[in-house]
């Protein structure tokens, strides 16, 4: 038997390294089972996860495993009595999280050892590269990608084949293929998981892309905050070199390509391809004017192609299974599957991959298990700081580029932040503008100054200092920034604000005109009171108040003194009867 421990960043953060260590130490010389590692399977909310295999067949999946459980696991496997582990076995409901997905980019994640090139080869790894180099011309590869309808998964959704074809058609003996693994959106971790869990899939996809455009050098630009991803990718590149998949005369085809990693400083603007190129060249990450486009004049002023991790993660599957198989999934305008990082006020958070054409409701409720604590769904933020919020009334919106764009949001790289009834949409817009303002490179006035002015207005509103006409001022600033900003960061920065105003205007009016935060999130506008009908006089709120602002007699309704209350929310969190209310 094989005992496999999930060792993605989410698992390690939950204590998987200790579980792995205990399992290793619990193994005796005479034990026939092995202890192995894998990456993130996507069920981040259940980590640490331990899988027990009989050969390649999954026998048992154990969740939220502790170091103490690890000793029991070794003993149960040794005795062949896995029923001893029923208390930590995954539930039928949680099994639906994976059962309802269709995995292409994530097909090997959580199933193979990311440090083993042999494990990848056993899953048809580098088979697509061999097929391309031995039987397909570069033009045929591009045509297959065109048939698949693969669009760039980094946010813009631009046809991959078109970018590859443009780079191939550009004159020059030296060309570059670049992978954008910067992934700066708050709440997004799709690219990190792919690199940590299946690095050879990225390498193979990039090599096929390099062959298609005629590039002899490939670069992975990955944020330095992903140390585990960098470590595993470095090891994978070395293994691919030693096996002859990288370097000179790959697989005896005459095609040569090297690959290296560039660790970036984590600037959000470097998600924009020309800013990324500037950073690669050792300059400050600031966008260039286009044209010329990178396909004509990119890295080192030579023809270059840039796609993100998820885009490349689909390529080998498309070559092995055919472009038509990929295009058969999805909608007319959006083909294949899409990976999302499902986070926020959701019961089952993690990595989700579904065919385009599914609804937001399907992802949030059927796969994600609905809203935590049984609360009401309020909105979902799509596309991070560049996206927008989609309200409950549009929960049946189909997931494709056109339909999401029609709501005012965007697909983006795949961040999906779920918000419940306790989320203030004004403060949400302020949060994303705070991020955008700090991440602006400052090159153009509209973005540098405009986002700062918008953030100031939103901050003023959330602090109870909103003025009549602020909403109209925000809309005016949004339109000016969208029209005048140089790159995608500035052009899309207004999206969270515009969608919040469009769908939740009443919350802005309440903040400005009534000096009230309906969600009770903005501390300057928050007020706590006790519902006399529900208060049983247990005194728990008074005993936990740090400033003695609550008074009363046991078994009688208590009262909060507004003048003393510091709005810390302690009384609200400790009340067992729902008597403490926010207003």
Q: Looking at the structure, tell me whether residues 160 and 266 fall in a common domain.
A: yes
**Residue 576 near residue 535 (C-beta atoms within 8 A):** no
Evaluate whether residue 96 is within a structural domain: no
Q: Looking at the structure, tell me whether residues 169 and 297 fall in a common domain.
A: yes
In this predicted structure, the answer to whether residue 255 has a pLDDT above a threshold of 80 is yes
In this predicted structure, the answer to whether residue 155 has a pLDDT above a threshold of 80 is no
- Whichever domain contains 485, its CATH number is 1.20.1440.230
Q: Looking at the structure, tell me whether residues 152 and 265 fall in a common domain.
A: yes
- The pLDDT, as a whole number, for residue 294 is 95
- The pLDDT, as a whole number, for residue 65 is 97
Number of domains in the chain: 5
- Whichever domain contains 563, its CATH number is 3.30.70.20
Q: Looking at the structure, tell me whether residues 508 and 542 fall in a common domain.
A: no
> How does pLDDT run across 456-503, given as a tens digit for each residue?
999 999 999 999 999 999 999 999 999 999 898 899 999 999 999 999
Evaluate whether residue 553 is within a structural domain: yes
d(CA 255, CA 277): 25
Q: Looking at the structure, tell me whether residues 265 and 374 fall in a common domain.
A: no
Evaluate whether residue 100 is within a structural domain: no
Residue from 26, 31, 27, 37 nearest 4 by CA? 37
Q: Looking at the structure, tell me whether residues 304 and 411 fall in a common domain.
A: no
* DSSP H or E run through 239: helix 227-242
Q: Choose one of 370, 399, 420: the last residue of a domain.
A: 420
Q: Looking at the structure, tell me whether residues 414 and 435 fall in a common domain.
A: no
CB atoms closer than 10 angstroms to residue 506: 10
Provide mean pLDDT across the span 116-139: 97
In this predicted structure, the answer to whether residue 231 has a pLDDT above a threshold of 90 is yes
Q: Choose one of 420, 442, 466: the last residue of a domain.
A: 420
Provide mean pLDDT across the span 52-78: 95
Q: How confident is the model at residue 68 (pLDDT cuts 50, 70, 90)?
A: very high
Query: Pairing mode, if any, of strands 50-54 and 57-62?
Result: antiparallel
- Whichever domain contains 386, its CATH number is 3.10.20.600
Q: What percent of the chain has pLDDT over 90?
A: 89
> How does pLDDT run across 390-439, given as a tens digit for each residue?
999 999 999 999 999 999 998 888 889 999 999 999 999 999 999 999 99
Q: How confident is the model at residue 178 (pLDDT cuts 50, 70, 90)?
A: very high
Evaluate whether residue 518 is within a structural domain: no
- The pLDDT, as a whole number, for residue 567 is 87
**Nearest 5°: phi and psi at 581?**
-115, 155
Q: Looking at the structure, tell me whether residues 175 and 299 fall in a common domain.
A: yes
- The pLDDT, as a whole number, for residue 472 is 97
The boundaries of the domain holding residue 569 are 527-582
Evaluate whether residue 108 is within a structural domain: no
- The pLDDT, as a whole number, for residue 278 is 95
- The pLDDT, as a whole number, for residue 218 is 98
Q: Looking at the structure, tell me whether residues 64 and 7 fall in a common domain.
A: yes
Q: Looking at the structure, tell me whether residues 401 and 484 fall in a common domain.
A: no
Q: Looking at the structure, tell me whether residues 258 and 314 fall in a common domain.
A: yes
Task: Cite the DSSP H helix spans in 281-357.
Answer: 309-321, 323-327
d(CA 76, CA 177): 49
Which one is predicted more confidently, 568 or 154? 568
In this predicted structure, the answer to whether residue 265 has a pLDDT above a threshold of 90 is no
Query: Is the overall model pTM greater than 0.85, yes or no?
Result: yes
Evaluate whether residue 105 is within a structural domain: no
Q: What is the mean pLDDT of the chain?
A: 95
Percent helix, strand and coil across the chain, each to the nearest 5:
45, 15, 40
Q: Looking at the structure, tell me whether residues 342 and 298 fall in a common domain.
A: no
- Whichever domain contains 82, its CATH number is 3.40.30.10
Evaluate whether residue 167 is within a structural domain: yes
Evaluate whether residue 520 is within a structural domain: no
Q: Helices 425-439 and 495-503: crossing angle, nearest 10°?
A: 170
In this predicted structure, the answer to whether residue 245 has a pLDDT above a threshold of 80 is yes
Question: What angle (nearest 5°) sits at the alpha carbon of residue 516, between those of residues 526 and 186?
Answer: 70
Q: Choose one of 402, 420, 438: the last residue of a domain.
A: 420
Provide mean pLDDT across the span 504-508: 97
**Residue 128 near residue 320 (C-beta atoms within 8 A):** yes
Q: How many residues does the chain have?
A: 583
Provide mean pLDDT across the span 555-561: 96
In this predicted structure, the answer to whether residue 520 has a pLDDT above a threshold of 90 is no
- The pLDDT, as a whole number, for residue 19 is 97
């Amino acid at each position: 038997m094989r005992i496999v421990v999930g060792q993605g960043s989410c698992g390690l953060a939950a204590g998987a390294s200790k579980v792995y260590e205990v399992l290793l130490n619990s193994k005796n010389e005479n034990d026939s089972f092995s202890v192995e590692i894998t990456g993130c399977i996507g069920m981040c909310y259940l980590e640490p996860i331990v899988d027990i295999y009989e050969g390649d067949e999954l026998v048992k999946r154990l969740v939220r495993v502790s170091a103490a459980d690890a000793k029991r696991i070794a003993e149960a496997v040794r005795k062949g009595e896995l029923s001893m582990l029923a208390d930590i076995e995954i539930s039928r409901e949680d099994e639906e999280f994976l059962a309802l997905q269709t995995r292409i980019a994530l097909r090997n994640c959580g199933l193979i050892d990311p440090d083993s090139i042999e494990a990848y080869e056993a899953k048809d790894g580098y088979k697509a590269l061999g097929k391309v180099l031995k039987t397909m011309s570069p033009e045929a590869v591009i045509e297959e990608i065109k048939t698949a309808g693969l669009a760039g998964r980094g946010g813009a959704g631009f046809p991959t084949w078109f970018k590859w074809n443009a780079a191939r058609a550009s004159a020059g003996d030296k060309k570059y293929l670049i992978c954008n693994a910067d992934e700066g959106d708050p709440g997004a971790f799709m690219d990190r998981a792919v690199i940590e869990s299946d690095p050879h899939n990225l390498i193979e996809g990039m090599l096929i892309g390099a062959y298609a455009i005629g590039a002899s050098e490939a670069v992975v630009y990955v944020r330095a905050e992903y140390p585990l991803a960098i470590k595993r990718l470095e090891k994978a590149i070395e293994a691919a070199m030693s096996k002859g998949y990288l370097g000179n005369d790959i697989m005896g085809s005459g095609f040569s390509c090297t690959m290296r990693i560039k660790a970036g400083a984590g600037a959000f603007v470097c998600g924009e391809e020309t800013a990324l190129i500037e950073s690669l060249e050792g300059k400050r990450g600031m966008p260039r004017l286009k044209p010329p486009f990178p396909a004509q004049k990119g890295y080192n002023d030579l023809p270059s192609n840039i796609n993100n991790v998820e885009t490349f993660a689909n390529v080998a599957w498309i070559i092995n299974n055919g472009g038509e198989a990929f295009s058969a999934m999805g909608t007319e305008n959006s083909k294949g599957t899409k990976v999302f990082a499902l986070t926020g006020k959701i019961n089952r958070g993690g990595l989700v991959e579904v065919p385009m054409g599914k609804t937001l409701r399907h992802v949030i409720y059927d796969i994600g298990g609905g809203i935590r604590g049984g609360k009401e769904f309020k909105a979902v933020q799509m596309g991070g700081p560049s996206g927008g919020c989609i309200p409950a009334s549009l929960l049946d919106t189909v997931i494709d580029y056109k339909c999401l764009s029609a709501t005012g949001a965007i697909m983006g790289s795949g961040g999906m932040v779920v918000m419940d009834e306790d989320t203030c949409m004004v403060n949400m817009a302020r949060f994303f503008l705070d991020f955008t303002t700090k991440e602006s490179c400052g090159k153009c006035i509209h973005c540098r100054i405009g986002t700062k002015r918008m953030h100031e207005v939103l901050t003023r509103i959330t602090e109870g200092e909103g003025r009549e006409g602020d909403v109209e001022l925000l809309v005016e600033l949004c339109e000016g920034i969208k029209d005048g900003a140089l790159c995608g960061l500035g052009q899309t920065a207004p999206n969270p604000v515009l969608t919040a105003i469009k769908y939740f205007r009443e919350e802005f009016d309440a903040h400005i005109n009534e000096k009230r935060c309906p969600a009770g999130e903005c501390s300057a506008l928050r007020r706590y009171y006790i519902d006399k009908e529900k208060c049983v006089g247990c005194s728990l709120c008074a005993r936990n108040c740090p400033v003695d602002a609550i008074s009363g007699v046991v078994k009688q309704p208590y009262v909060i003194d507004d003048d003393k209350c510091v709005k810390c929310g302690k009384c609200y969190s400790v009340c067992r009867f729902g008597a403490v209310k926010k207003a």
